[in-house]
Amino acid sequence: MKRLTKQTLIGILAASICITAATGCASTGNKPYKNDHGYYLNSVDKADSLVDVSGDRFDSSADNGYYSKIAGVGINIKNKDVLSLIKKGSLLQVNSLGDSDTEYGFEYYYMTNAAYRLFNSIPKDASDEEVEAVQKKYDANINKYTFPYVMTVRIPGDKDKKDADSITKRMKSKFSHIDEIGKIGSDHYYFAYNKDYQDLKLDKSEEKSLQNLVNNIQVLKKDICIFPVKKQDSKSKGNSIQSIGEFKTKALDGSDVTQKIFAENKITMINIWATYCGPCKAEMKDLGELYKSLPEGSGMISICSDGKEEPDLAKKILKKNNCDFKTLLPDDKLNKAVMNKVSAVPTTIFVDANGKVIGDPIVGGRSKDKYTKEICKRLSMISSEGSASEVAK
């Protein structure tokens, strides 16, 4: 139906990334409780005992929604009309990010058929100027093309005032209805939504879908899950990955993997992701296709940050998207060299045959074509370095 990929539109809506940490949340027992607003909140983030605000069991591994340890919120969407629009590509999820790029929740946006037609009008061989012109047209008429549907967000307290202010401003500027769900510690949790879609440029076939969305807002609200987040120490600036030294770890398929895997190619692309990360999963199809058509002299692997805790889910995600590349489970050395220095997923780095990082990391999802260009760019960087060395001799 639509040529434009869901990942491309997610990128248009926001630089959508998830923030992750090298360590998981504590596994103390969860004791859900009912607050003064009549909603059930969770006392800790314990995957096997979470409940939604209605008190029903919440499945953190389900594909029908969102779940983020860092944001402290999740949703299992059960309504068939809403799920149908998500599957169709008309309802897109992006992450709510603060000024620090930390993730605080999720937002769903309805993309009209007119928006798809606009972006699908871009020729495959379009110049940067042509693409920019279409982007400007979209931005100038965004209220006609895009409908901010719902948002569930944690507004942080304590030391995160700058992020709290930016998220609050974003919520109030985009949504006309804001309901407080509750408070955990110094953090406040909200559910925001819109009902008025009169400004949208709709086809007749879309009008019923929009009315169904509005009618199901309160139903959707009952599917939300709220839980406290584990406060993480802030990472120091300049704590970047320079190189990957020796390591010996396991892959998801059970095989042993060492740093020697890098010696097989001039450049190796390493995609770092997590099973709970929506943008990570959204780009998996592109990654699977990329692996099958890598430029000569390049290789590709991934590291799943929570693969040890969620091996079956990781395998399911990879299989669903035809991803045949090797996926590593980080050991202590990889955690020290890589994972402890990664503040967001998805993050992609590139290393040479010796494990030295080449170029800057890429934070957030990209398309197959964009990744191909980045690989070629780094292959050129290696060639340039080699030529320079020969001249110096």
7-28: pLDDT as tens digits? 445 444 543 334 333 333 334 5
**CA 278, CA 275: separation in Å to the nearest integer?**
8
Cβ-based neighbours of 169, under 8 Å, separated by 6 or more:
none
The helix (run of H) or strand (run of E) holding residue 380 is helix 368-392
Number of domains, the chain:
2
Q: Are residues 319 and 276 in the same domain?
A: yes
Q: Does the residue 264 lie in any domain?
A: yes
The helix (run of H) or strand (run of E) holding residue 118 is helix 113-120
Q: Does the residue 235 lie in any domain?
A: no
Q: Are residues 217 and 270 in the same domain?
A: no
Residue 162's domain comprises 6-226
**CA 266, CA 8: separation in Å to the nearest integer?**
29
Q: Does the residue 217 lie in any domain?
A: yes
Name residue, tokens 């942080």: 156
How far, CA to CA in Å, does 360 sit from each of 38, 269, 304, 348, 371?
Answer: 48, 12, 20, 9, 13
Low-confidence ranges of the chain (pLDDT < 70): 1-28, 100-101, 124, 158-159, 231-240, 343, 384-393
Q: Does the residue 391 lie in any domain?
A: no
319-372: pLDDT as tens digits? 999 999 999 999 888 988 888 777 678 889 999 999 999 988 887 788 899 999
Angle at CA of residue 349, ends 98 and 276, nearest 5°: 50
pLDDT reported for residue 279: 78
Q: Are residues 208 and 340 in the same domain?
A: no
pLDDT reported for residue 240: 66
* CATH number of residue 292's parent domain: 3.40.30.10
- Assess contact for 272 and 18: CB atoms under 8 A: no
Return the SS3 of 72.
coil
Classify 359 in phi/psi space as left (phi over 0), alpha (psi -120 to 50) or beta: left
DSSP labels, 163-203: HHHHHHHHHHHH-SEEEEEEEETTEEEEEEE----TTS---
Q: Does the residue 272 lie in any domain?
A: yes
**CA 368, CA 362: separation in Å to the nearest integer?**
13
Q: Are residues 147 and 185 in the same domain?
A: yes
Q: Are residues 209 and 351 in the same domain?
A: no
Cβ-based neighbours of 84, under 8 Å, separated by 6 or more:
none
Reading the block at residue 9, the tokens are: 């539109």
Q: Are residues 207 and 252 in the same domain?
A: no
pLDDT reported for residue 46: 80
pLDDT reported for residue 101: 63
Q: Whose CA is closest to 101, among 192, 227, 193, 237?
A: 237
Q: Does the residue 103 lie in any domain?
A: yes
**CA 362, CA 139: separation in Å to the nearest integer?**
24
